[in-house]
Each structure stands twice: as structure tokens, then as C-alpha cells.
């Protein structure tokens, strides 16, 4: 099952969630109505209790969803997470950040914010957020201390698969939905807890009885809530395990992490059970201890045997006995195993063209393989340390990104410097000029967007007024000469998406439903732009355009009409195309690839345009288009 099929499955799961939620609400309403009928058999009373119950559940869900409107960071903070600094020098945290950066580059998604649950000794992790742009990955202190680098890679890759497969959005909404169906029970419990302050009021007894009944009815919501979480979560966890293996090129890492969960005393359990209950469906391992119908994860031995079929109960018992005497230390295992984190791979030449096919590119979307991970290692290690340091610091990330946009022409560069100085100050402008010179001398062209990807999460930490001023500066720099190059447009658009979605993540989280026939003109514009960008003459560009159109709208005859504004015409197509049905997006990616590479080859600048299109339309593409 590929990325687009996973997106379609996630949308079906969302529909399934709505149906299960409706059944749970119906059960709670029926229970409340029955209790009210036994006290006062009146149709008017039934109508009243039904209305009050529905309103309570609805506003409870809306309140909880609104409280999570800032995305994954809210969940991590509510769980007691501590943010991992971008420039951390702590060896364990540095190892975590390096692993996350490599996997982010390999998958084509932005580097998520990283949190550590410092007071949790169990081995666990979760990913939370509405979109890849606001995603957070949190790991427990136990995971950092007990897992070696390969095992940590397996866990982080598992969480990245939840980001790629769109599980995060479903999971975070599930928190809000389940809170609503628990509202009746929560209200009853609060009334009972504070009932002693009711004094001698003659009505206090009736109120307490009503509260007790509400608590009992609340168990109906709890039952349905746990059933819903278990039903939605188990199949997605199996898929995430399989994706992690595909991702990290080996089974030992993920299997080793699962063995340590089963072999260590703390396992994957979390200390704060009330918080863990709410996020249990999001965790890497079972954080509560539910089994049977309420289990949010497949049995641990089943997960291990899916990776190592010969693993037995006796083998797990031997690990338990050994680790009871000497618990493993992940960092020491790294030294013993020689896990330095770099596998190495050769970057293509700056002017090399890549041989691709449309189905191949569509198959690569959000499905990184072993060679993508090796390439990610190469990319990270190939970026000069000084430039990576600039990308990791809040005070230098803006000059770095602006430096990427500066022109080599001295006259134009001076005009751009004045635009920066007018908005951000002379120091920022001079710093951007110096960094541009450093980039020109030291950075391989294929590393520009990966370096920007490392900088995006640091940029998102800046306050909103600074981000607004920065984006205004980016616009001025890009349009300083009245023309916009492919790279200027690509980086500017990716910056816009990153900033926009991080400031208001819930607004941009949605499942698309449009079909290609509803966005014909947008397809025509997109294909015309990419065909024009990939071909030197109008005849070959027209052929490329028609080849792309044949893939996505085979019965339509839309003339080739490249827009006068060039690449800027794409601004009008993003929102309609992002609302496409997932499987329609697959056809779109194949069509764009066909148009941009009708001669079978893609240059570096064209690859950047293709990756930008996929990124803006939430179809993340791994770092290299050809597979070695």
C-alpha cells in the first residue's frame, strides 16, 4: 500500500471514527434518558435530557479540540515534555536530533520539534500534530538511556511513519472526540468530589445521586472510548512497524527496541496514567497495560515475531533475567557496536541530470527506502558544520535563509541588501551577505533545500511579529529585480507553507475530496508551468504538457497556454489542488513528473521544483529522485 492509498485509508478511518462516535453518543443519550424516565416519566423531560446531553458532549469535544489547536507541541507539553534545543551539546540529545534530522531528510518532511519526557523511565515515544509542519516527536528518558542508535532509529522511524501516513491528524482529533463522550462521567465525578461543600441543602442528596448516576453512565463513554481507540490504533501500529523497517533498512533496530520493552522492568509503561490514558493510542508501546478488546497495540511478541519469526518466549525470558542484573546502556552499546551514524553515499554532480519515470516518482512519495536513508546520511554529513551550526541557531537562521536567496550579481545583491536592512536592520543584511558568500563557496547545489529543511524548525520558534517581518523581507528579496527564478520561488513558497502551517496548524489539516475534473484549469496551469520550466523550446514543452495532461485528464483537450507571469502563476493553484482526493494526488504527481521530464531527465533546478510541488501539496518526496 503506497502513500496515497494510506491517505485514502486514513480518510476512511476518519469516517469510521465519526460513525463510532455517533454510536457512543447514542448509547450515552439512551442511558441518560433511561435514568431520567425512571425518575420522571415525561416526554418533555426526555427531550430536555437529550438536548442537554448532546450539548454537553458537543461542547466538551469542541473545547478539547480547541485546546489542541496549536498542534503537537500542546500535547507534548501537557505530557510534561522538555524541548530539545537545536544546538544541544548533550550526547544523548545530540544523538536523538541527528537521527531525527536524517530521517526527516530521507522522508522529505520538515524536521519535527523534539521533546523528551524526562521523568518517564519506560521506553516509549509518540508523534503528535495536525500537519508535518507542526509535528512533534516526543521520546521518554528511558528510550534515550536504554536504546542504542539503531534501536532509537527504529523507534523514531516508526513515529515518522505516523507523520507520513496521516495518523497524527486522526490521533489528535481522537483526543478531542473522546473527551466529549467522557464529559457526562467527568461532570458527575467533579460533583461528587466537591459534594461535601453542599452544606445541609435539602436538594444536595438528589444532586449527589444524579452525580453518581452520571458517573455510572460515564463508564459507557469510557467503554466506547477505549473500544474506539483500540479499533483505530492497532492496524496503524502494525503498518508503522512495517514502514519503520522499510525506512531504516534493517529489522534489528526496531526488534531490539521491542525486546527491551519486553525485557526491562519498566517496559513501556508511563507514570502519569491519566495523561497516558488520553494519548495511549498515539504511543510507540502500550503505556497503560490494556489487553484484549481495549488493547491499543498488537501483542508485543506478535510485533517482535513479525520482524524476527524465530523469536520465542524463552528468548524473552532470558533477556529479562540478564537485564534484571545489568540493565542495558544505549550509549555504551553504540561504542561497542561502532554505531557512528554515517553510512556515506556519493552526491551527484551539480549539473548531473537524473533519469526518472512518473510511476517511480509517485511510488517514492513518503515511502523512503534503504537508499534514501543512506543518501540522507550523506546529505547530513556533506553539509559543512559551520552551515549546519547557522541553521541550528535562532539568531542566524533568518540571515542564512535570506543568504540563500541573494543574487550573485553585485548590483542586484546590493539592492537586496537594502531591502533586508530596511526591514530587519543593517546587521541582519550584512550577515546575510557574508553567509551568501559562504554558501557559494562551500555548499553543493543539491544541499540547498536540505539545509533549508534543517533550518525550518528553528525559524518556526521565532515570535509571530518577527516571522511576519521575515516573510515580508523574503518577498522583497525575491522580487527585487522584478523576476523570480525557480529556486527563489521554491524556497520562498516552502518558507511560506512552513510559517503559515506552524502558526495555525489546525486550519490547514484536512482530508481532500476533490476529483481531477473539478480542477481542470488548475491542472492546466500547473502542467504548463512545469513543462515550460523543463524544456528549452515551445514544441517540446507543448508535447510534455500534453503527456502530463493525458495522465490526469485523458478525455480533456485543454490547450497549452503557458502563463505570462511564469512560475508565479502557481500561487493560484495550490489551494484547489491541495484539496484533491489522495488517489487523485497520485495521478497529479505522475502527471507533473511526466511534464517536467518528458525527455526522461530532471536537472537539479527541476528536481527542486518537483520537490516543492510535492511539499506544498503535502506529498513529501525523499531527497534523491533516482534510486541506486
3-state secondary structure 499-543: HHHHHCHHHHCCCCCECHHHHHHHHHHHHHHHHHHHCCCHHHHHH
Pairing, β 125-128 against β 136-140: antiparallel
Strands 113-117 and 82-83: antiparallel
d(CA 110, CA 492): 15
DSSP string covering 141-187:
HHHHHH--HHHHHHHHHHHHHHHHTTHHHHHHHHHHHHHHHTHHHHH
Catalytically active residues are 159
C-alpha 357, offset from chain centre = 27
Pick from 569, 572, 579, 573: nearest CA to 618 = 579
Contacts of 395 (CB under 8 A, 6+ apart): none
Cell of 288: 497503560
Q: What is the DSSP string of 14-58?
A: HHHHHHHHHHHHHHHHHHHHHHHHHH---HHHHHHHHHHHHHHHH
263 and 316 in contact (C-beta within 8 Å)? yes
Which of 573, 514, 526, 570 lies closest to 551, judged by CA? 526
Rounded Cα distance, 35 and 49, in Å: 10
Query: Which grid cell is 156?
Result: 523514531
Amino acid at each position: 500500500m503506497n502513500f496515497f492509498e494510506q491517505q485514502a485509508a486514513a480518510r476512511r478511518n476518519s469516517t469510521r471514527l465519526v460513525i463510532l462516535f455517533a454510536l457512543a453518543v447514542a448509547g450515552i443519550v439512551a442511558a441518560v434518558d433511561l435514568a431520567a424516565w425512571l425518575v420522571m416519566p415525561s416526554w418533555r423531560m426526555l427531550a430536555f435530557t437529550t438536548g442537554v446531553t448532546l450539548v454537553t458532549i458537543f461542547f466538551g469535544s469542541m473545547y478539547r479540540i480547541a485546546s489542541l489547536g496549536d498542534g503537537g507541541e500542546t500535547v507534548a507539553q501537557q505530557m510534561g515534555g522538555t524541548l530539545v534545543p537545536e544546538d544541544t551539546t548533550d550526547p544523548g540529545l545530540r544523538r536523538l536530533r541527528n537521527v531525527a534530522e536524517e530521517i526527516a531528510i530521507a522522508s522529505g518532511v520538515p524536521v519535527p520539534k523534539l521533546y523528551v519526557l524526562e521523568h518517564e523511565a519506560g521506553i516509549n515515544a509518540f508523534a503528535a500534530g495536525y500537519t508535518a509542519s507542526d509535528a512533534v516527536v516526543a521520546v521518554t528518558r528511558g528510550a534515550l538511556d536504554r536504546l542504542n542508535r539503531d534501536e532509537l532509529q527504529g523507534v523514531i522511524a516508526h513515529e515518522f511513519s505516523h507523520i507520513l501516513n496521516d495518523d497524527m491528524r486522526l490521533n489528535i482529533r481522537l483526543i478531542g472526540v473522546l473527551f466529549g463522550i467522557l464529559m457526562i462521567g467527568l461532570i458527575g465525578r467533579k460533583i461528587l468530589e466537591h459534594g461535601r461543600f453542599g452544606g445541609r441543602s435539602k436538594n444536595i442528596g438528589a444532586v449527589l445521586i444524579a452525580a453518581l448516576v452520571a458517573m455510572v453512565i460515564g463508564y459507557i463513554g469510557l467503554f466506547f472510548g477505549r473500544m474506539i481507540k483500540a479499533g483505530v490504533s492497532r492496524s496503524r501500529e502494525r503498518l508503522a512497524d512495517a514502514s519503520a523497517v522499510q525506512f531504516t533498512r534493517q529489522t534489528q533496530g526496531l526488534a531490539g527496541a521491542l525486546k527491551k520493552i519486553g525485557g526491562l522492568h519498566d517496559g513501556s509503561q508511563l507514570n502519569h496514567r491519566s495523561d497516558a490514558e488520553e494519548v495511549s493510542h498515539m504511543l510507540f508501546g502500550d503505556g497503560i497495560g490494556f489487553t484484549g478488546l481495549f488493547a491499543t497495540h498488537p501483542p508485543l511478541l506478535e510485533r517482535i515475531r513479525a520482524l524476527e519469526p524465530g523469536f520465542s518466549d524463552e528468548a524473552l525470558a532470558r533477556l529479562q533475567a540478564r537485564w534484571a542484573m545489568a540493565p542495558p546502556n544505549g550509549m555504551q552499546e553504540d561504542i561497542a557496536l561502532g554505531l557512528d551514524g554515517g553510512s556515506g553515499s556519493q552526491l551527484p554532480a551539480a549539473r548531473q541530470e537524473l533519469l526518472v519515470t512518473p510511476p517511480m516518482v509517485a511510488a517514492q512519495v513518503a515511502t523512503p527506502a534503504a537508499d534514501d536513508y543512506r543518501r540522507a546520511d550523506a546529505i547530513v554529513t556533506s553539509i559543512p558544520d559551520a552551515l549546519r551550526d547557522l541553521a541550528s541557531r535562532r539568531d542566524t537562521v533568518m540571515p542564512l535563509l535570506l543568504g540563500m536567496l541573494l543574487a550573485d550579481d553585485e548590483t542586484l545583491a546590493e539592492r537586496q541588501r537594502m531591502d533586508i536592512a530596511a526591514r530587519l536592520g543593517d546587521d541582519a543584511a550584512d550577515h546575510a551577505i557574508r553567509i551568501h558568500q559562504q554558501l557559494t563557496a562551500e555548499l553543493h547545489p543539491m544541499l540547498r533545500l536540505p539545509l533549508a529543511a534543517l533550518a525550518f524548525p528553528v525559524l518556526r520558534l521565532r515570535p509571530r511579529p518577527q516571522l511576519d517581518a521575515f516573510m515580508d523581507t523574503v518577498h522583497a528579496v525575491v522580487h527585487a529585480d522584478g523576476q523570480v527564478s525557480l529556486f527563489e520561488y521554491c524556497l520562498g513558497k516552502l518558507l511560506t507553507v512552513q510559517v503559515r502551517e506552524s502558526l495555525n496548524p489546525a486550519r490547514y489539516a484536512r482530508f481532500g475530496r476533490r476529483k481531477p475534473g473539478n480542477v481542470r484549469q488548475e491542472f492546466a496551469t500547473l502542467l504548463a508551468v512545469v513543462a515550460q520550466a523543463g524544456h528549452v523550446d515551445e514544441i517540446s514543452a507543448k508535447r510534455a504538457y500534453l503527456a502530463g495532461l493525458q495522465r490526469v485528464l485523458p478525455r480533456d483537450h485543454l490547450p497549452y497556454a503557458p502563463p505570462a507571469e511564469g512560475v508565479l502563476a502557481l500561487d493560484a493553484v495550490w489551494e484547489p489542488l491541495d484539496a484533491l482526493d489522495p488517489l487523485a494526488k497520485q495521478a497529479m504527481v505522475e502527471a507533473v513528473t511526466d511534464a517536467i521530464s518528458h525527455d526522461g531527465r530532471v536537472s537539479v533546478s527541476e528536481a527542486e521544483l518537483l520537490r516543492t510541488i510535492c511539499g506544498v501539496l503535502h506529498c513529501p518526496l525523499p531527497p534523491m529522485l533516482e534510486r541506486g
